[in-house]
Structure 1
Amino acid sequence: MNYVKAFAPATVANVACGFDIFGFAIQEPGDIVEIKRKDEPGIVIADITGDAGRLPRAAEKNAVTVVMLHLLKHLGISDFGCEVILHKNMPLGSGMGSSAASAVAGVVALNELLDNPLSRQDLLRFAMEGERIASGSAHADNVGPSLLGGFVVIRSYNPLDIFSIPVPEDLYCTLVHPDIEINTKDARYILRNEVSLKNAITQMGNVAGLVAGIMKSDYDLISRSMVDVIIEPVRSILIPEFNEVKKAAISAGALGCSISGAGPSMFALSRGVDTAWQVGSIMTETFRQAGIEANMHISGINQGGALILEKS
């Protein structure tokens, strides 16, 4: 095999109350990575599309290739060479798991090219290294669902313990990206290092409630549990019109609405695709009335994660 083309989907991380422990994938958009063997050892980024020249071209500094370097080192392969093309199909700093999608597509493509020496689960810790170089933190709430699909829970980071839970078939996500950018490192920097006991108790109750609501297809419980008293109050100040957009989503029938990842994208969960479209329409219109252009994506929960599109 000399060529592989892989796709990794966008994701919603945190999912309101689940900071760094919840995430799910959507169907699209997503990043595409092409890798082709070359005779000379070493990984070379041949091209990046869709980034307006903003991403680093050095292999050791880009999320898509850092994960490949870590994988090759783990496997003890020193004479391998390939050219990489990255197609960025979502905005940088969007809160849609952009760097995670690049990292996941890269590591899945290389693993395929090497005849799959590692399982998807085993690839997770390598994909997390792409997040470390992009945001300064090797969190798994984006790379986990982008790699594995489904609604993912990270029970522990040390040791890494990750699992997925079944989701209702009629649960839909509305993901709205306003035309602004938030740096993930900045969005993490403003967070408090300590929380009150009262807020911790409230948050734990909502985390448990959201997991139970999703597993039981209890939409009322899902709605009651989509409350974040720790992260959202701090990060929402970075998103213009956040409160107005959230109120509009709830009024249109959303079960809940919050920040996707570090923002500025916002997501809502709804029962049924028609409601999800109605919610998306009013969310984007609320942004536009404030002079902010916004794009939306409607999707069920992506159960498959990353895909191999072509190989030869």
Structure 2
Amino acid sequence: MITRADVEAAYAKTAGLVRHTPMVSSGEDLPFTLWFKCEFMQHTGSFKARGAFNRQLTAREDGELSETAGIVVASGGNAGLANAFAAARLGMPATVFVPETAPANKVAKLHAAGATVVQHGSEYAEAFTAAAEFAASNGAVLCHAYDQPGIVAGAGGVGLEVLAELPDVDTLLVAVGGGGLMGGIAAAVEGKARVVGVEPETVPTLHEALAAGRPMDVSVSGVAADSLGARRIGEIGFDVARRTGVQSVLVSDDDIIAARRRLWESHRIVVEHGAAAAYAALLSGAYRPADGETVAVVLCGANTDPSSL
């Protein structure tokens, strides 16, 4: 169970190690008020640094983290980059398992961050199994990409910052893959604002779980699969979503591509497809704000190839 208190504790613990990212007005003439939370400006280009630092600091405090074994994480790219960055700052080695389909730019960044990179399997779930086996045999601390209390609580700092700068916010639109960011934010703003989870039609982890009443495996494909490519929603994110009433909406690959291009052409914001999914909910009409509603779109990552815009 993750609560606002857990998020606040994580936020205090990671102070000075992660960036307080800006919020900017869209500047558009709309019947509702639109803000962008620019979390793509976080260290390593995504929100993942928040949970990575919180998980690793907690493990070190608990005596769980070995200076020789370090940490291991499975990731499509962003969680690996964040955990490698955090481990380097804390003086620990990092091993990152990525799917063989991971984008070349993210793999290159992992090497540049000093991580040992192992490519295994065709999707995140296979890389995670290999990482867990490595942790069991090597003694490294396993840092889950999205489904550990410290990871989720750390990610929730995004929600605290939105509330601090925009206390009258009504709705936060958040992209969902494994659900760590959504779960952390929903816990942070519980009782103060609603959270809408936005998912690709091709990877509807939260949507299917809400319909079934429990996390379910889904097939993984589409333009955002490198960052929103979890096979199922995490238990923690799902529990928070049910407790707080998170709504799920779906967007198509075409919607995501159009939203990413619009962010660049109209706002000069460069994000990856997974981050653009949250904005796609507005452009496609998957989420329609009421007149006068104050909406914050969380733009959660920028690890992309700008030449593809």
Could you state the TM-score of these two structures normalised by the residue count of structure 1?
0.28
More helix by share: 2
Larger relative contact order (CA 8 Å, sep ≥ 6): 1
Greater C-alpha radius of gyration = 1
